Amino acid sequence: MPNAAYLIIVLVPLLPLLGFVILGLFGRKVVKNYSGGLGTALVFFSTCIAMWVGYDYFATGAGPDGAYHAFKVLNIHWLSFGPGFSIDMDLLVDPISVMMAVVVSFISLMVHIFSLGYMKGEQRYGTYYAYLGLFTFSMLGLVLSANIFEMYIFWELVGCSSYLLIGFYYDRPSAVAAAKKAFVVTRFADLGFLIGILILSFQTKTLGFGELIQMLGPGGQSIADGLGVPGARGVFLGFPVVSWGLALIFVGGAGKSALFPLHVWLPDAMEGPTPVSALIHAATMVVAGVYLVARLYILYANAVDVSQLILYVGVFSAFLAALIACTQSDIKRILAYSTMSQIGYMMFALGTGSSGNTSGYTASMFHLFTHAFFKALLFLCAGVIIHRVHSNEMKDMGGLRKQLPLTHVCFLIACLAISGIPPFSGFFSKEEILSAAWPTNKFVYGLGLFTSGLTAFYMFRLYFSVFWRRAPGIATSHHGATQLNHGAIAPNHGATAAHHGSTPLSMRLPLVILAVCTVFTGFIPFSHYITFDGRPGETVGPGLNAIPPVATALLGIGMAAWLYKKENSRPQQAAEAFRGLYSFARHKFYIDEVYLFVTKKIIFNGIGRPAAWIDKHIVDGLMNGLAKGTAAVSASIKGFQSGKVQDYAWFFFIGIAGLTVLFIYIYT
């Protein structure tokens, strides 16, 4: 297809936007019951277009040298700051942007279909679909951006939609707090992102991705070099300026992708409805950071120090999240931490680039692709389970395998995938990541390996606790409203308890589709299509280096089965044995408390209160003082108009006398 015809990709974000506008304006009253259908239909068309473009691009769009080129469609010149330096609204067609567009629209479609059943009966049904449409639009805009500032704009839009969706049940204070926390933490990280953008664009006087990479990459010539100003080659505090910019951009990405230490918002974000968690916090928004780093991969590969940073932050986040997930009891929290862990994997795969080994790029993107499917599947299954059991806590579940057979199978498939068991997709992608890590840094490889064992352990801990542990058929009672006020997250689906029966088709269909995808996407030869420079790479099939991950995974599964398949006291004993570490991990390593301490004691007391005092007493005081002064002056000269004749006579006389003096003595 000629490049101009790719313009159709502009419909992919615009259709959900249209959904948002229509449902936002009319969703409350007019089209209420049809909101779901309308939203889903629009996203369905969007997905079809994305898939068609994807097929066309990858099947036939290779250039003459066999490489997939990036090109821009839809060049709208928007804000111009100078010649060549402008914020344009462009759409970029490029291997990863097309892949991400397909993933985002597809997962969004699955979530839309699932929500038809899950959110049925919800009072704000139309608003929900409007928000979903907004989110889909923002995320698609983000992945299709060709200009870093345009991406920033969509980045913030994504943050805003996420806030709206997490806080969807706004009458619950915990949901409101979680939404605020997500927004504030990511916003704080976005400060780094913005400063990074400014630093990089200052060097190059341009904002487009292609130009940035070209000018700041190896062999590039930044404008600042040409001007003789210490620019891209300049050094600040011992590190090159470009490294600072890239590190700050990474900070922005780390916030959105919930890496340590900016991960604190992700577990709390589970207050939103479960399909929202599937969409946002599993497959799409949280990978925005990974996508950003992948976009600028060539620059990161060039900056050794920043790559080291990414490597260690990624692997540490993966490890920390896995540790915490082993001790949690809320199903959605476990899945949230597992997301954080997998994103850690993706991130550290991107950090391996500095050693000259660029397979990390492909591995990371492949894992992103497969992870989207099985993580969304996990969350949607969790949604079905929660819908059935009306509680999020594992202790209320157990023995569900006969009651929810389809969910059981799908959940099992997804768990096997995330643990990296062949032939499911997770095996291929995780194995590629570890292979990319091996030549770079052995310690990182070892930690990644250990973490994958932990991953298998806690995921199967969850699996066995939910579907085995007790004898099937034990009625998991409908706890109803009385259980809702425990400290734990209350079951968060808005529908009234009207679906004790079988799960509706709209909820089962996405599960099946995603399970199929999970099984088969592992076989896509990803490196044919997606490499850091577009040229197809060779796919190395799994060989001997696949054995350690699989072995550790099987070990983890076995341990989980031993501890959790039947109800016994071994987990309790194990927790007792590691009591300190266990309690530490259970409280999420007290990171939240540290943040709270810093904000409350240091920032609020040290900065907030004095600032408020200054505002109230000095700034306001100045204004009040002016007002009081004016009032005082006016009160004192009020006497001129007292209404008393004698005062008037006195003033009159003084005036006459004054004038007399003036005219006789001064003017003659």
Minimum distance of another protein from residue 635's CB (angstroms) = 16
Q: How far is the CB of 633 from another protein (least distance, A)?
A: 19
Residue reference for tokens 């929660």: 386
645 scored as a contact of another protein (CB under 8 A): yes
23 close to 131: Cβ distance less than 8 angstroms: no
User: How many positions of this chain bind another protein (CB under 8 A)?
Assistant: 14
What whole-number distance in Å separates Cα of residue 36 and Cα of residue 27?
A: 10
By C-alpha distance, which of 304, 318, 296, 428 is closest to 357? 304
Q: Output 59 or 664, the one with its CB closest to another protein.
A: 664
> With binding defined as CB under 8 A, does residue 644 bind another protein?
yes
Q: How far is the CB of 648 from another protein (least distance, A)?
A: 10
Among 654, 659, 662, 663, binds another protein (CB under 8 A): 654
Dihedral of alpha carbons 507, 508, 510, 514, sign: positive
The span from the CA of 526 to the CA of 541, in Å, is 11
* Residue (620 or 647) nearer to another protein, CB: 647
Closer of 188 and 663 to another protein (Cβ) = 663
Closest to another protein by CB, 630 or 660: 660
Q: Which is nearer to another protein, 664 or 666 (CB)?
A: 664
Only segment of 150-158, 206-214, 625-633, 653-661 that touches another protein (CB under 8 A) = 653-661
- Pick from 474, 649, 659, 662 the residue near another protein by CB under 8 A: 649
Nearer to another protein, 184 or 659 (CB): 659
Cα 229 versus chain centre, distance:
37
Measured distance CA(51)–CA(71) in Å, rounded: 18
Residue 476, SS3 per DSSP = coil
The CB-of-655 to another protein minimum distance in angstroms stands at 11
Determine the 3-state secondary structure of 240 from DSSP: strand
Q: Give dist(CA 392, CA 483) in Å, integer.
A: 11
Residue 664 Cβ, how far from another protein at the closest point, in Å? 7
At 535, phi and psi to the nearest 5?
-80, 140
Q: CB 632 → another protein: shortest distance, Å?
A: 18
Residue 443 or residue 651: which is nearer to another protein going by CB? Answer: 651
| 653 in contact with another protein (CB under 8 A) | yes
Give 501 or 667: the residue with its C-beta nearer to another protein: 667
Amino acid at 40: T
Distance, in Å, from the CA atom of 539 to the CA atom of 526, rounded to the nearest integer, reads 8
What is the largest distance, in Å, between two alpha-carbon atoms of the chain?
120
For another protein, the closer of residues 583 and 660 by Cβ is: 660
DSSP 8-state assignment for residue 482: G
DSSP lists the bridge partners of residue 86 as 80
Residues 432/303, Cβ–Cβ less than 8 Å: no
- Is residue 77 within a helix (H) or strand (E), and if so which, with residue range? strand 71-82
Q: Footprint of another protein on residues 623-642 (CB under 8 A)?
A: 642
CA 295, 298, 299, 305 torsion-angle sign: positive
Selected range binding another protein among 3-11, 48-56, 396-404, 643-651, rule: CB under 8 A: 643-651
Point out which residues pair with 236 in neighbouring strands: 239
Rounded least distance, CB 645 to another protein, Å: 6
Q: Which residue has the tokens 């996405």?
A: 510
Any contact of residue 443 with another protein (CB under 8 A)?
no
In whole angstroms, the minimum distance from the beta carbon of 666 to another protein comes to 13
Beta carbon of residue 173, minimum distance to another protein (angstroms, whole number)? 57
By CB under 8 A, tell whether 660 contacts another protein: yes
Shortest Å, Cβ 652 to another protein: 10
Length in residues, the chain: 668
- Rounded to a whole number of angstroms, the distance between the first and last alpha carbons of the chain is 100
Q: Which two tokens stand for residue 89?
A: 């609204």
Q: Which listed residue (4, 229, 547, 661) binds another protein by CB under 8 A?
A: 661
Cα separation, 68 vs 94, whole angstroms = 7
Interface stretch with another protein, choices 437-445, 518-526, 572-580, 650-658 (CB under 8 A): 650-658
C-beta closer to another protein: residue 84 or 658: 658
> DSSP code of 392?
-
Using rule CB under 8 A, residue 646 touches another protein: yes
With binding defined as CB under 8 A, does residue 238 bind another protein? no
Within its chain, how far is the Cα of 585 from the centroid? 23
Judge whether 361 and 433 are in contact, CB under 8 Å.
no
Under rule CB under 8 A, residue 643 binds another protein: yes
Residues 304, 512, 657, 662: which binds another protein (CB under 8 A)? 657
Closest to another protein by CB, 598 vs 657, is: 657
Nearer to another protein, 3 or 660 (CB): 660
Contact positions toward another protein, by CB under 8 A? 642-647, 649-650, 653-654, 657, 660-661, 664
